[in-house]
Structure 1
Amino acid sequence: MPPPSPAGPAEPPPPPPRRSRTGLIAVLSAVLVLVVAAVGLVVVRPGPVAGWLGARDNDANWVDTTTDPPPPPVLAAIGDSAPMPTPEGIRTLIGDLVTKSGLGERVNVSVVDVATGQSLYAQGADVPTVPASTTKLVTAVAVLATRGPAYRITTRVVAGSAPGEVVLVGAGDPTLAINGIGSYPGAGRLDDLANQVKQALGGTAPTKVTVDSSLYSGPVYEPGWDADIPTGGYGGAVTALMTDGARLDPKKSTKGAARTPTPDLTAGKSFAKLLGLPATKVTRGSAPASTAPSAAPTSTAATDGTGTVEPGTELGRVESPPIIRLVDFMLGDSDNLVAEALARQVAISRDQPASFVGAATATKAVLAELGLPVDGTVIADGSGLSRSNRISPALLAEVLVLAASGNRPELAGLVGGLPVGGWSGTLDERFRVKASQSGAGVVRAKTGTLTGVHAISGLLTTTDGRLLAFAILADKVPFGTDQAHPILDRIAAALVTCGCR
């Protein structure tokens, strides 16, 4: 998210000294054990996770052991025997922190016990609020529910209608790399795709590259985005074909990196270069109508007997990392273009247009199917960049309860993708001051920031070992990030210390 304009002093105080991470390892490890065990999950191996994360049937190092007896769990479930805080106790603990925090006139909060689903604290919990990037939590649960954690997005090349024409068909993979220097680990690569095309064509040289990004429709920027989003590096044009999240330089993988305004053409020009063609040979267009994907491209493409490749023949394909990894990328670094791509996967899975509107319609429908409270919810995009979004703290908390409960195992990837306080992702530098240090290594949460909007929503384990879901949304904050974030962190950290009985 773009940082809001600070309203504090011109020279903010220096950050606190960075603590050694070795001191957090033991705490973090213990908390991860509690989180995984408390939600009723167990860690076993080998299982399907290896396949989700990249192991394939044709990997030389991958061994199929599915016929072996199931191994014992590494982590045993602890159930819900830890004492649950009382609503009165939590109100006493954080009531003043919420109502007298100075975060503005709208500070809406929900705290829920994961094991029972009982609401423990509600301050405007049902009020639809501008959620900023905590919107990504609903995007995550929707795409995991519809596509599943193992699904991969396939980018293909097919023969075009004109002699020597190859068509690069975008399917919505934002992580696609040009070569081995990419922004996302494990991404499919254009250089691999180019080699497949050359092999499939044999001695026939390609003459032009057509890029087909027609899978997506509608505007490439959501109307509710701030004016600086397209050029500020925190968002970008949403197209079905792009490389490295539309970054101009894949090595600059931070959210503020410069983005190309035409990701599909930029990807096509990179592909053309790999095929030995100039950028002038790249145009937008459509693949032939008969381009239904085959099981795998052949080593030499079929021809019509004259050496001409039949239009629509698949010449190559590469796959994205699995959805569970894309969710990690989205949540960990608050990657907005990955979020928009995942939202469109929800739309496609529900036969909706792959647009902002189609993705929003499909996402809300999936949330309702999951039994989540969607009354009053307005979804405009998948990333939370839009100020048109309205999501209640209660919905966010219930999303987290569902993902952490163990009742829908395919949703558990959301929990693993959350940044950890004082340790990783967007929480790397948070929970590092005395007032909130109890949350370091214990709070796992998604943050949200727009000018005047500050939010945090996630999971934490109390001092008694009880797993809680929480959401704190404030969308009329009168000051900037440097003042707002410590207040949010302090509220979450207070819940960690809770005996609250």
Structure 2
Amino acid sequence: MSARRWAAASALALSGLGMGAWGTHLELDREADLEPAAGADLPVSVATPVMSARRVPALLVRPQASRRLNTAMAPLMAKAPAQRCVVVADGRSRVFADNPALPLPAASNQKLVTAFGAIERLGADATLATYVGAGAAPSDGVVAGDLWFIGGGDPLIDTEPYEATLKHGKPPRTPLEAIADRIVAAGVRTITGGVRGDESRYDRERVVASWPSRYIDQAQVGPLSALSVNDGRTYPAIAGAPAAPAKPAADPAAYAAQALHELLVARGVTIAAPPGSGSAPADLTHVVDVPSLAMSQIVAEMLTFSDNNTAELLVKELGHAAAGQGSTTAGLDAIRESLGTANLPIDGLALADGSGLDLGNRVTCDLLDAILAADGTAGPISAGLAVANGDVGTLEDRYRGSPAAGKVRAKTGTLRNVSALSGWVRSDKGHDLSFSIVFNTGDRQVNAGDLELEENLTEALLSYPDAIDPATVAPHPVP
């Protein structure tokens, strides 16, 4: 009997037993959900009649598991803010949902949307091409004229003093020190001009216009530039060097050039002119090529550490790739197009930025969960999620002492009135459940109780499926 005919006969059997109403919850139209349990694909001559519910053990077990999960979730959901959405799915089958299609600001869970756009449009193996060039190759160790530092949009170029200030552990990076080492290794000993930075790959809009100014003042994000060192903040290039307190660079490309200048001088390179910025002449000779980490690693850094600068620069790179315009507007258009092409649920979607900082963003739990499902448990997005109570990332200080520690991988998200958590949980029985939780707290600020509730909801998933063993209700073989 074919799987399709087997499924049809089994569904008819359920209907005859008065169980057909389950179909609205179990999505009987999905043939893959009706596969027989191991050992159930037997010859017709078995002890179990054709019209027996035992022929569909999964459909006997799943509703019981779903009911018990709903029972466990109910008292927790009673504590949730009124403006919320929650979705839990077991593969393609949704096992819990509350306001799944309600569009809400989701704080940094918006980065899942940006990650999807980056992987779909640019590719997991793509790199961003920063390089160092000159009017001609070095001759006898001398660069005649300026040495140009050309930004390719790599958001992870930094120096050791900046890296030492970062929370949640050390992220992957493109060390500026290594770039300086490679320039020296290329034979450069003297530069008759200066080191100059070029950020022309993207526009020079340093922020998203609708952001409150405090985001920059609090070092949440920006200034944005295609040539970004230390996230565009004026940290010293050399550890131990005297420096004023770091602040947003007025000219990020000039600051990047200055940092590289200092590292080259420290390595014995003589530079005649001070550093600066501008537009490089055409047809430069490449002295050193500096490819970024692979896009999958950049996306992982963005998700694990919730890096706002990485998110916003990826949006501009998407705009450059899709429309030749390294702008936020062009990049957001490209993301929406990728979501639509993939047939993901975009009803109610509003994109104001790539990081989720803007309260004008709107996303549904339907969409967040669909992105996770499309990526799968081993895809580059899911692989980049922070691990509960792990060694690094925005979940390293959460789930301490929790039974879900190490079993939850998720993207966090927090603004004053928004808290979100979306990702995967591995249940005690080995099921990978995707979930998305978004809370909007209205007039009150997000507090520790909201974060604890998110953790409690995911802990409730550990016992899934809490139901009878499918093997006990599988078809009986002939004695």
Pick aligned residue for 1:260 from 238, 248, 252: 248
**What is the aligned partner in structure 1 of residue 85 from structure 2?**
108
> Is 1:237 matched up with 2:223?
yes
| CA–CA distance in structure 1, aligned partners of residues 181 and 423 of structure 2 | 44
One-letter identity of the residue aligned with 1:127: L
Per-residue CA deviation, residues 353-394 of structure 1 (Å, 9 max, x unaligned), is 222212211111112222211122111222111111111011
Asked whether the equivalents of residues 88 and 500 of structure 1 are also in contact (C-alpha less than 8 Å), the reply is no
Equivalence map 1:290-305=2 (5 Å): 290=283
Give how far 1:129 is off: 0.7
| CA–CA distance in structure 1, aligned partners of residues 113 and 196 of structure 2 | 35
**Against the structure 1 CA distance between its residues 289 and 395, is the aligned structure 2 distance closer, same or farther, given a 3 Å change threshold?**
same
3-state SS in 2 of match to 1:394: helix
**What is the aligned partner in structure 2 of residue 271 from structure 1?**
260
**What is the aligned partner in structure 2 of residue 417 from structure 1?**
384
| CA–CA distance in structure 2, aligned partners of residues 338 and 208 of structure 1 | 28
> Is 1:164 matched up with 2:145?
yes
| CA–CA distance in structure 1, aligned partners of residues 274 and 301 of structure 2 | 33
**What is the aligned partner in structure 2 of residue 88 from structure 1?**
67
Give how far 1:218 is off: 5.4
| CA–CA distance in structure 1, aligned partners of residues 171 and 432 of structure 2 | 31
Asked whether the equivalents of residues 231 and 258 of structure 1 are also in contact (C-alpha less than 8 Å), the reply is no
> Is 1:149 matched up with 2:124?
yes
Asked whether the equivalents of residues 234 and 249 of structure 2 are also in contact (C-alpha less than 8 Å), the reply is no
Give how far 1:274 is off: 3.6
Asked whether the equivalents of residues 204 and 224 of structure 2 are also in contact (C-alpha less than 8 Å), the reply is no
| CA–CA distance in structure 2, aligned partners of residues 480 and 223 of structure 1 | 25
**What is the aligned partner in structure 1 of residue 154 from structure 2?**
173
One-letter identity of the residue aligned with 1:230: I
> Is 1:355 matched up with 2:355?
no
Give how far 1:223 is off: 2.6
**Against the structure 1 CA distance between its residues 272 and 160, is the aligned structure 2 distance closer, same or farther, given a 3 Å change threshold?**
farther
Equivalence map 1:371-410=2 (5 Å): 371-404=343-376
Per-residue CA deviation, residues 279-299 of structure 1 (Å, 9 max, x unaligned), is 972332112233xxxxxxxxx
| CA–CA distance in structure 2, aligned partners of residues 485 and 202 of structure 1 | 53
Which 5+ residue runs of structure 1 have no aligned equivalent?
1-79, 291-311, 407-411
Pick aligned residue for 1:447 from 404, 412, 434: 412
**What is the aligned partner in structure 1 of residue 476 from structure 2?**
none
**What is the aligned partner in structure 1 of residue 27 from structure 2?**
none
| CA–CA distance in structure 2, aligned partners of residues 196 and 132 of structure 1 | 39
**What is the aligned partner in structure 1 of residue 394 from structure 2?**
426
Asked whether the equivalents of residues 133 and 385 of structure 1 are also in contact (C-alpha less than 8 Å), the reply is yes
Per-residue CA deviation, residues 321-341 of structure 1 (Å, 9 max, x unaligned), is 222221221111111112222
| CA–CA distance in structure 2, aligned partners of residues 234 and 484 of structure 1 | 22
One-letter identity of the residue aligned with 1:124: N
Asked whether the equivalents of residues 191 and 271 of structure 2 are also in contact (C-alpha less than 8 Å), the reply is no
3-state SS in 1 of match to 2:394: helix
**Against the structure 1 CA distance between its residues 261 and 484, is the aligned structure 2 distance closer, same or farther, given a 3 Å change threshold?**
farther
Asked whether the equivalents of residues 147 and 196 of structure 2 are also in contact (C-alpha less than 8 Å), the reply is yes
Structure whose CA Rg is larger: 2
**What is the aligned partner in structure 1 of residue 340 from structure 2?**
368
TM-score normalised per structure 1: 0.69
Root-mean-square deviation (CA, aligned residues, Å) is: 3.1
Per-residue CA deviation, residues 70-96 of structure 1 (Å, 9 max, x unaligned), is xxxxxxxxxx99965644333222133
Which 5+ residue runs of structure 2 have no aligned equivalent?
1-57, 137-142, 165-169, 468-479
**Against the structure 1 CA distance between its residues 96 and 203, is the aligned structure 2 distance closer, same or farther, given a 3 Å change threshold?**
closer
Give how far 1:156 is off: 1.2
Equivalence map 1:25-174=2 (5 Å): 84=62, 86-98=65-77, 100-101=78-79, 103-114=80-91, 117-159=92-134, 164-174=145-155
Asked whether the equivalents of residues 162 and 235 of structure 2 are also in contact (C-alpha less than 8 Å), the reply is no
Give the % identical residues.
28
**What is the aligned partner in structure 2 of residue 465 from structure 1?**
430
Asked whether the equivalents of residues 225 and 385 of structure 1 are also in contact (C-alpha less than 8 Å), the reply is yes
**What is the aligned partner in structure 2 of residue 307 from structure 1?**
none
One-letter identity of the residue aligned with 1:135: Q
3-state SS in 1 of match to 2:280: coil
| CA–CA distance in structure 1, aligned partners of residues 83 and 172 of structure 2 | 42
Give how far 1:186 is off: 5.8
| CA–CA distance in structure 1, aligned partners of residues 371 and 352 of structure 2 | 18
**Against the structure 1 CA distance between its residues 334 and 185, is the aligned structure 2 distance closer, same or farther, given a 3 Å change threshold?**
closer
One-letter identity of the residue aligned with 1:172: G
3-state SS in 2 of match to 1:122: strand
3-state SS in 2 of match to 1:343: helix
Give how far 1:199 is off: 6.7
Q: Which deviates more from structure 2 when the two are superposed, residues 271-280 or residues 457-466?
A: 271-280
**Against the structure 1 CA distance between its residues 484 and 318, is the aligned structure 2 distance closer, same or farther, given a 3 Å change threshold?**
same
Asked whether the equivalents of residues 132 and 449 of structure 1 are also in contact (C-alpha less than 8 Å), the reply is yes
